[in-house]
Amino acid sequence: MNFTVAQIAKMIDHSILRPEFTVEDVRSGCAVAAKYDVASVCVRPCDVPTAVSLLRDTNVRVGTVIGFPHGDSATQIKVTETELAVDQGATEIDMVLNIGWLRSGDINAVENEILSVVKAAGEAHVKVILETAYLTDEQKLAACWAAERAGAAFVKTSTGFAPTGATVDDLALMRSAVSAAVQVKASGGIRTLDTMLAMAAVGVTRFGTSATAEILEDLARRQVNVPGGRA
């Protein structure tokens, strides 16, 4: 599978989510996103206005997280978070589903909550974070099916705050569970170009990572010796 640097960049959501990040860290992260023209930044809810302002004259979308990282906020809180984020200019919404409800087998409650967030998001893309580290394969499948029925644009593996993150096996399972109308996002432990390429090979189209510069510079170096500028 061959990609240019620009193509890989447009598969990246540059992650700026660590709790200790300062305002200057957020500004620096947005500068990286703008430099490489990635798909989006994914920032903390409090940072949405800053990111929107910094990226207004770029092609980089601004996304944020909802119910992050545990997924256990009340549904109305998730809805309100979503409405505020969209009002402030976010166009991508990464929500953590209610992991406890899913593990309890209450799929209707999980689906209804996702639907509420999708409605609140309007035209913004909703990505449903499963937090696969805590789920059986059957629960992962049920979550993917619920997310698609509720109108989500993506299903996503992880927050990056659980014991483990994305795996190729989980991503292949998620890709098999949803139709072509739903994309798959890998997040959690995406640090290298080779990891991205292996995951793209099973159908992943978006990646959450903070290693954007390292990944894209690695690809640029490899392309120097590849005829046609692809690797």
**SS3 sequence of 188-217:** CCCCCHHHHHHHHCCCCCEEEECCHHHHHH
Tell me the mean pLDDT in the region 147-175: 98
Q: Does any domain span residue 230?
A: no
Say whether 140 is catalytic.
no
Q: What pLDDT, on the 0 to 100 scale, is given for residue 2?
A: 85
For 42, 56, 93, 112, 193, the CA distances from 139, given in Å and listed in that order, are: 26, 39, 22, 16, 29
Select which of 94, 127, 140, 218 is catalytic: 94
Looking at residue 209, the DSSP 8-state letter turns out to be: E
Domain count, the chain: 1
Better-predicted residue by pLDDT, 25 or 1: 25
In the structure encoding, which two tokens stand for residue 120, read together? 């609140």
Q: Does any domain span residue 142?
A: yes
Q: Does any domain span residue 231?
A: no
pTM metric for this prediction: 0.95
pLDDT at 83 over 80: yes
Select which of 78, 127, 140, 185 is catalytic: 185
Q: Does any domain span residue 171?
A: yes
Q: Does any domain span residue 202?
A: yes
Domain, as residue range, for 115: 5-222
pLDDT at 230 over 80: no
Q: What pLDDT, on the 0 to 100 scale, is given for residue 69?
A: 97
> How many percent of the chain have pLDDT more than 70?
97
pLDDT at 88 over 80: yes
Select which of 10, 78, 127, 156 is catalytic: 156
Q: Does any domain span residue 53?
A: yes
Q: Residue 64 in contact with residue 96, Cβ under 8 Å?
A: no
pLDDT band at residue 223 under the 50/70/90 scheme = confident
Q: What pLDDT, on the 0 to 100 scale, is given for residue 226?
A: 59
Q: Does any domain span residue 206?
A: yes
pLDDT at 79 over 60: yes
Tell me the mean pLDDT in the region 20-41: 98
Tell me the mean pLDDT in the region 107-113: 98
Q: Does any domain span residue 57?
A: yes
Say whether 13 is catalytic.
no
Give residue-wise pLDDT tens across range 169-195.
999 999 999 999 999 999 999 999 999
Looking at residue 157, the DSSP 8-state letter turns out to be: -
Nearest Cα to 178, choosing from 135, 134, 147, 139? 147
Say whether 119 is catalytic.
no
Q: What pLDDT, on the 0 to 100 scale, is given for residue 231?
A: 52
Tell me the mean pLDDT in the region 109-136: 98
Tell me what the pLDDT averaged over the chain comes to: 96
Q: What pLDDT, on the 0 to 100 scale, is given for residue 228?
A: 56
Beta bridge partners of 13: 40, 208
pLDDT at 225 over 90: no
CATH code, domain with 98: 3.20.20.70
> How many percent of the chain have pLDDT more than 90?
95
